[in-house]
């Protein structure tokens, strides 16, 4: 008798499906909004995060002044990514792409960047704009979730 997994036969799976009213699948791509990885994680596995950020930021570039763009960038990073970042370790390349997207959104159409990005990511009490890097957000959320 062919088995679906190493330990469960087709007959048992069919019985369980009829009792529990679940569908059987061999591939689970997402569970509770999180991607399920079965192999080594790569940068492109997190493209859905970058697409989500780009879809929220792209059309608003020309409609907002710099203060509005900074506020929107802060709210996007702190609200959209919280759920994912508190449960998954985001790769450094993905964090860098998120920061680059936010940087480009804030400095759109500016030929001269008068302030370094490192200065903007400082807390407001130290003269920055309080924009947190994606890596720092991810680390702090994971520490909080794990109780470290």
Q: Report the distance separating Cα 15 and Cα 11, nearest Å.
A: 6
Q: State the DSSP code for 133.
A: P
Count of C-beta atoms within a 10 Å radius of residue 73 = 22
Residue 127 pLDDT exceeds 60: yes
Q: Report the distance separating Cα 24 and Cα 3, nearest Å.
A: 13
- Which comes out higher in pLDDT, residue 2 or 110? 110
Report yes or no: 86 and 121 within 8 Å, Cβ to Cβ: no
- Which comes out higher in pLDDT, residue 76 or 102? 102
> Which two tokens mark 140?
């702090």
Share of the chain above pLDDT 90, in %: 3
Q: At what angle do helices 66-79 and 47-57 cross, to 10 degrees?
A: 150
């Amino acid at each position: 008798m062919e088995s679906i997994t190493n330990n469960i036969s087709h007959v048992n799976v069919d019985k369980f499906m009829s009792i529990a009213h679940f569908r059987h699948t061999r591939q689970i791509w997402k569970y509770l909004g999180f991607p399920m990885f079965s192999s080594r994680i790569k940068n492109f596995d997190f493209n859905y995060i970058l697409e989500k950020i780009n879809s929220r930021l792209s059309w608003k570039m020309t409609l907002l002044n710099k203060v509005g763009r900074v506020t929107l960038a802060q709210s996007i990073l702190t609200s959209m990514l919280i759920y994912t970042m508190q449960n998954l370790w985001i790769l450094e390349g993905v964090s860098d792409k998120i920061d680059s997207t936010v940087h480009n959104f804030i400095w759109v159409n500016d030929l001269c960047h008068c302030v370094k990005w490192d200065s903007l990511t400082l807390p407001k009490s130290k003269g920055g704009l309080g924009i947190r890097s994606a890596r720092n957000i991810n680390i702090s959320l994971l520490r909080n979730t794990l109780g470290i």
